């Protein structure tokens, strides 16, 4: 099958954890790689960005960076550039006489492009939103989302032949919001490479100072402030611990987070190494005693799954994407309250009890074994085959 993958701002060669870069980048790379290894022809189209470097000849798929807008164009400017992006893809395929059987898009920006390309080429379109504006606003009303996003998400949901979601909860939300039938959705969770994300935990058990880990963007929606407050409580109780915050964000967000850490006098206890290569993450996960994800919302939570594969228990918010991975009281704890005291209590239960931590570590690894990229890709291939053979009719918005 010939698959055009549209990922306007989520280039698969950008390390996750930076500004506007996360699990979606990993997802596009892992899925495209495995589709290519199965013999499918995959071509990913993304926007040019800083730090592209030399093309990776070892990829199992083609990757084109289109010079649309400035290299460091702000995400807020990208909606205005989507027609130009779509035109550039069409021009590229015309010059190279490339034809595709299906378009797969990621995020609403790419979904809008995917709709245009599908119409132009008269082929099916499968989309994944990764996150929705309405969900973000419902859990954190102060989130600033443009009206064009709401309008385009509704249009893409209506026009796409199939929508791939990670959880039943995401499907239910979209069925209600966009008034779409159940058969418009395919629930196919992402996976984890349990060979890559598997590391011995010897060093972490021998260290006296307990390491608490956060992996993700520095973003208000991720709840980093709540974690810092919980960590302050842990230190005030006299516990010997350190917090490692792995990930990036805007300069303003870094300054704000550093200010909070300094104000609470935690500078010597908190490490911020920034964005790290994927190759370094297994050891980071394995040497942590606990990973924390206090997000307001997560569509899935790939870092928590990667940590589980390395045997690291989690303390996570009881939200849709995270509770699909964390088994409460078995692989970690799920917390409904946005209360730093509750988070501190649960973190201390794990890092302060070696027997419990070891039990949860084994359970976390066993849970991770239930998720694989092979299963993800097999599910996607089934969806792609189905829509190519019998495209679904778009359901009207009411």
Q: What pLDDT was estimated at residue 248?
A: 84
Q: What is the pLDDT of residues 151-196, one digit of tens each?
A: 999 999 999 999 999 999 999 999 999 999 999 999 999 999 999 9
In this prediction the pTM is 0.89
Q: How many CB atoms lie within 10 A of CB 201?
A: 19
CA distance 355 to 365: 16
31 neighbors 59 (Cβ within 8 angstroms)? no
What domains are defined for the chain? Answer: 2-191+373-389 (3.40.50.2000), 202-368 (3.40.50.2000)
Q: What pLDDT was estimated at residue 17?
A: 56
The closest alpha carbon to 249, from 31, 20, 12, belongs to 20
Low-confidence ranges of the chain (pLDDT < 50): 202-204, 392-398
- 290-293/210-215 β-pairing: parallel
Phi, psi of 256 (to 5 degrees): -65, -45
Compute and round to an integer the Cα radius of gyration of the chain.
21
Q: What is the 3-state secondary structure (H, E, C) of the chain?
A: CEEEEECCCCCCCCCCCCCCCCHHHHHHHHHHHHHHHCCCEEEEEEECCCCCCCCCCCCCCEEEEECCCCCCCCHHHHHHHHHHHHHHHHHHHHHCCCCCCEEEEEHHHHHHHHHHHHHHHCCCEEEECCCCHHHHHHHCCCCCCCHHHHHHHHHHHHHCCEEEECCHHHHHHHHHHHCCCHHHEEECCCCCCCCCCCCCCHHHHHCCCEEEEEECCCCHHHCHHHHHHHHHHHHHCCCCEEEEEECCCCHHHHHHHHHHHHHCCCCCCEEEEECCCHHHHHHHHHCCCEEEECCCCCCCCHHHHHHHHCCCCEEEECCHHHHCCCCECCCEEEECCCCHHHHHHHHHHHHCCHHHHHHHHHHHHHHHCCCCHHHHHHHHHHHHHHHHHCCCCCCCCC
Q: What pLDDT was estimated at residue 398?
A: 28
Task: Supply the angle between the helices 302-309 and 354-368 in degrees, to the nearest 10.
Answer: 110
Dihedral sign, CA of 170, 173, 9, 20? negative
Q: What pLDDT was estimated at residue 19?
A: 56
Q: What pLDDT was estimated at residue 56?
A: 55
End-to-end Cα separation, the chain, in angstroms: 34
- Residue 319 burial (10 A CB sphere; 0-12, 13-18, 19+): buried
Q: What pLDDT was estimated at residue 396?
A: 34
CA distance 58 to 146: 38
Q: What pLDDT was estimated at residue 23?
A: 80
CA 36 to chain centre: 21
Tokens of 126: 């499968």
């Amino acid at each position: 099958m010939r698959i055009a993958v549209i990922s306007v701002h989520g280039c698969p060669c950008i390390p996750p954890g930076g500004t506007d870069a996360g699990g979606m980048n990993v997802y596009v790379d892992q899925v495209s790689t495995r589709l290519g290894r199965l013999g499918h022809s995959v071509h990913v189209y993304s926007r040019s960005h800083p730090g592209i470097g030399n093309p990776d000849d070892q990829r199992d798929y083609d990757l084109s960076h289109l010079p649309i807008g400035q290299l460091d164009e702000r995400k807020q400017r990208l909606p205005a550039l989507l027609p130009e992006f779509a035109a550039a893809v069409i021009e590229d395929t015309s010059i190279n006489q490339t034809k595709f059987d299906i378009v797969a898009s990621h995020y609403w920006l790419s979904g809008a492009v995917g709709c245009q390309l599908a119409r132009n080429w008269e082929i099916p379109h499968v989309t994944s939103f990764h996150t929705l504006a309405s969900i973000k606003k419902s859990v954190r009303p102060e989130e600033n989302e443009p009206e064009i996003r709401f309008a385009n998400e509704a249009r893409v949901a209506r026009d796409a032949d199939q929508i791939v979601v990670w959880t039943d909860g995401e499907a239910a939300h979209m069925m209600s919001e966009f008034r779409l039938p159940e058969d418009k959705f395919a629930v196919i969770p992402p996976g984890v490479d349990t060979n890559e994300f598997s590391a011995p935990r010897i060093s972490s058990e021998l260290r006296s100072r307990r390491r608490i880990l956060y992996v993700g963007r520095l973003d208000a929606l991720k709840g980093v402030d709540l974690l810092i407050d919980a960590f302050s409580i842990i230190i005030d109780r006299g516990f010997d611990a350190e917090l490692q915050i792995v990930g990036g964000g805007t300069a303003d967000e870094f300054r704000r987070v550093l200010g909070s850490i300094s104000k609470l006098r935690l500078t010597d206890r908190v490490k911020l190494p920034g964005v790290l290569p994927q190759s370094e993450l297994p050891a980071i996960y394995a040497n942590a005693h606990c990973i924390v994800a206090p997000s307001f919302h997560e569509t899935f939570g790939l870092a928590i799954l990667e940590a589980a594969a390395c045997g690291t228990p989690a303390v996570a918010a009881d939200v849709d994407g995270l509770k699909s991975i964390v088994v409460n009281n078995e692989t970690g704890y799920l917390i409904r309250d946005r209360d730093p005291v509750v988070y501190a209590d649960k973190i201390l239960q794990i890092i302060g009890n070696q027997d419990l931590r070891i039990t949860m570590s084994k359970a976390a690894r066993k849970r991770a074994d239930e998720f694989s990229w092979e299963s993800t890709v097999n599910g996607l291939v089934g969806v792609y085959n189905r829509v190519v053979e019998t495209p679904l009719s778009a359901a009207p918005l009411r």
